[in-house]
Amino acid sequence: MTSSPPGGARDTIGQGIRRARNARGRTLEQVSEEIGVSPATLSLIERDKVSVTRARLKEIAAALGADPAELGWGTDPEHEAQLRVEPESERPHVLGAAIECFTRRGYHGTSMREIAQAGHMSVAGVYHYYESKQQMLVSALEPAMVELRDAVVAAGQRHPEDEPEKRFAAMIEVLAIFHITERDIAFLGGSELRSLEGANRERVVQLRRGVQHLVDAEAQAAAAAGAFANPDILFASRMVVNMCVSLARWYDPEGPVGPDDAVANAVAYALAVMKSTAVGA
Amino acid sequence: MTSSPPGGARDTIGQGIRRARNARGRTLEQVSEEIGVSPATLSLIERDKVSVTRARLKEIAAALGADPAELGWGTDPEHEAQLRVEPESERPHVLGAAIECFTRRGYHGTSMREIAQAGHMSVAGVYHYYESKQQMLVSALEPAMVELRDAVVAAGQRHPEDEPEKRFAAMIEVLAIFHITERDIAFLGGSELRSLEGANRERVVQLRRGVQHLVDAEAQAAAAAGAFANPDILFASRMVVNMCVSLARWYDPEGPVGPDDAVANAVAYALAVMKSTAVGA
């Protein structure tokens, strides 16, 4: 057993996990159950489609009985860059409780007392980490939107500029993956944007617009290159982005269409829409 | 000038309005501004795509300086059936104020006092019409979902059973029109379904599911007939329904794509998705 693949090319974190899991003859289902995530999520981690925290990586290594060095991380600066920023102490736990409350009763319907109860701590404890309910909402939404924006940019850049259709498809793929794996945040992004105040709202709205504009720009480039026939290119681009966004509201990863196929379908449907010629009124 | 078209066929309400407006050389923009709706909405009314209240019809007649008899309604039982049930007294006004509050601050974040203030009446006045906030929410959502369900059924029935693709397209058309014209209700249907309690929630959820199932059934019939190639037909059907639903959140009737074209596009995109063959993972 070696800690890196033959030929000298280094594993990504996802490839390292998949290699170690396969070497042990363990299924996605077995390992994912042990670490308490869905098989779909573990599959996305192994395909480097979602980033993971250091804590989650340690759990995976433990479940596989693997040395972190064998899995190939902890020593490589590129791998460090792949990891999500390590959350500090109880902060994410408090924020998780707040997200749960906001999702269940709405932002205005949730009190700091209820967040404290959901997080099994005192109200003072909550205020130790967040100065206000508003700060918690923006802390839930803004980093997620930054992460999505950065992932969409990176996806586009994996293909050359003169292949806008591939860049567009890669962006749609990231959008579909995000809305399949981050449903709570995506739900709040749809229903509680109105509850963000002043500059907070402006920043998050700009981030959302930024994602749409990234997709729009590639759609327009693909149309200019003759790949997309749709005459209302920006309207179509809004429709396909929102089709992906809707996955967060209704898609069930345990249903008949698995997450990998759901993502592939979303990309195929988006291309079908962009290549369609509307019938006109 | 006659009150009915040549040849003896009777006007629908929408045709009656359009005929009278054209006879007076008035534009959609002029008349819609006078009665305080968007040109898009008036266009949908004239195409019999949305039903209107008796009060709205009187406004239109007044704006055109027309006798209701000339416009051909008020005497014909079929026209009566086309009209929305007349709202009683202040009830719809109170409900409108509640919908506005729910949309702005969320259901749990809204008090009966705030609804009373928004409706310029006393709290006791609100309770005269509705026994609870919950009753107001269900009174906003349930009739809208019933109206949508009935419109989807009627749209399908406009085409013979052996033409499932046409039936499917007609249903998608109605979905797109509903979400373009009923954005507040559609937003609440997405964000406040969780706030409905017990049997209220069950009924509205069943109505929503019913709409999806109506579309699903025609999609499956069209697939069986060889018209739709998509291998994940129910997944695709969910995606296109949600694409139409999203119109309520982002579509601007005053933007570059007018309502008629937006509806036609939605139908064309839905058919493109249903006919597409997914690339697979």
Here the CATH number for the domain that contains residue A40 is 1.10.260.40
Query: Residue A168 belongs to a domain with what CATH number?
Result: 1.10.357.10
Q: Please report, rounded to a whole number, the percentage of residues in chain B having pLDDT higher than 90.
A: 49
Asked if the structure places residue A4 within a domain, the reply is no
Q: Which two tokens stand for residue A252?
A: 């069930």
Chain A residues with CB-CB distance to B106 below 8 A: 106-109, 191-192, 195
Q: Of A158-167, A175-184, B66-75, give the range with the top mean pLDDT.
A: A158-167
Whether residues B148 and B242 fall in one domain:
yes
Please calculate the CA angle B236-B238-B242 and round it to the nearest 5 degrees. 120
Whether pLDDT at A8 is above 70: no
Residues B155 and B254 in one domain: yes
- Which residues 185-214 on chain B approach chain A with CB closer than 8 angstroms? 190-192, 194-195
Q: Do A245 and B246 touch (CB under 8 A)?
A: yes
**Higher-confidence residue: A222 or A1?**
A222
Per-residue pLDDT at B280 = 43
Residue with tokens 């699903």: B216
The rounded distance, in Å, linking the Cα atoms of B16 and B10 is 9
Residue of A nearest to B275 (CA): A272
**B203 in a structural domain:** yes
Containing structural domain, residue A29 = 13-82
First to last CA, chain B: 64
Question: Please, what sign has the CA dihedral across residues A224, A225, A230, A233?
Answer: negative
Under the banding of pLDDT at 50, 70 and 90, the label for residue A2 is: very low
| C-alpha span between A87 and A85 (Å, rounded) | 6
Q: Are residues A156 and A211 in the same domain?
A: yes
Question: In chain A, what percentage of residues exceed pLDDT 90?
Answer: 49
Residue of chain B nearest A190, judged by CA positions? B191
Contact B256 A234 (CB under 8 A): yes
pLDDT single digits (tens) A21-39: 998 999 888 888 888 777 7
Highest mean pLDDT among A146-160, A191-205, B113-127, B226-240: B226-240
- Residue in A closest to B253 by C-alpha: A235
**Positive or negative torsion for Cα B111, B113, B117, B119:** positive
Q: Residue A266's pLDDT is what?
A: 97
B250 located within any domain: yes
CB–CB of B205/B212 below 8 Å? Answer: no
Q: Do A212 and A198 have their domain in common?
A: yes
Distance from C-alpha of B106 to C-alpha of A108, rounded to nearest angstrom: 7
Mean pLDDT over A234-238 rounds to 97
A23 to chain B nearest CA, in Å?
23
Give yes or no for a contact between A187 and A249, defined as CB atoms under 8 angstroms apart: yes
DSSP A37: S
Give B77→chain A minimum CA distance, Å.
30
Tell me whether residue A161 is in a domain: yes
Is position A280 within any domain?
no
* Cβ neighbours of B173 in A, within 8 Å: none
Distance from CA of B208 to the nearest CA of A (A): 12
Domain termination site, one of A48, A66, A82? A82
What is the average pLDDT value for chain B, to the nearest integer? 85
B102 and B212 fall within a common domain: no
Q: What is the mean pLDDT of chain A?
A: 85
SS (H, E, C) chain B: CCCCCCCCCCCCHHHHHHHHHHHCCCCHHHHHHHHCCCHHHHHHHHCCCCCCCHHHHHHHHHHHCCCHHHHCCCCCHHHHHHCCCCCCCCHHHHHHHHHHHHHHHCCCCCCHHHHHHHCCCCHHHHHHHCCCHHHHHHHHHHHHHHHHHHHHHHHHHCCCCCCHHHHHHHHHHHHHHHHHHCHHHHHHHHHCHHHCCHHHHHHHHHHHHHHHHHHHHHHHHHHHCCCCCCCCHHHHHHHHHHHHHHHHHHCCCCCCCCHHHHHHHHHHHHHHHHHCCCCCC
Do B262 and B247 meet the contact criterion of CB atoms below 8 Å apart?
yes
Residues B111 and B213 in one domain: no
Closest-CA distance, B56 to chain A, in angstroms, reads 26
Q: Which residues of chain B make contact with A268, given a CB cutoff of 8 A?
A: 276-279
Put simply, the answer to whether A257 touches B232 (Cβ < 8 Å) is yes
Q: Are residues A157 and A216 in the same domain?
A: yes
Q: What mean pLDDT is predicted for residues A223-234?
A: 95
Number of domains in chain A: 3
| CB-based contact A109 B104, cutoff 8 Å | no
* Neighbour tally for B225: CB within 10 Å: 12
B134-164 per-residue burial string, b: 16 or more CB within 10 A, e: under 16: eebbbbbbeebbebbbebbeebbeebeeebb
Structural domain contains residue A223: yes
- Has residue A6 been placed in a domain? no
Report, as an integer, the average pLDDT of A259-263: 92
Q: What is the CA radius of gyration of chain B?
A: 21
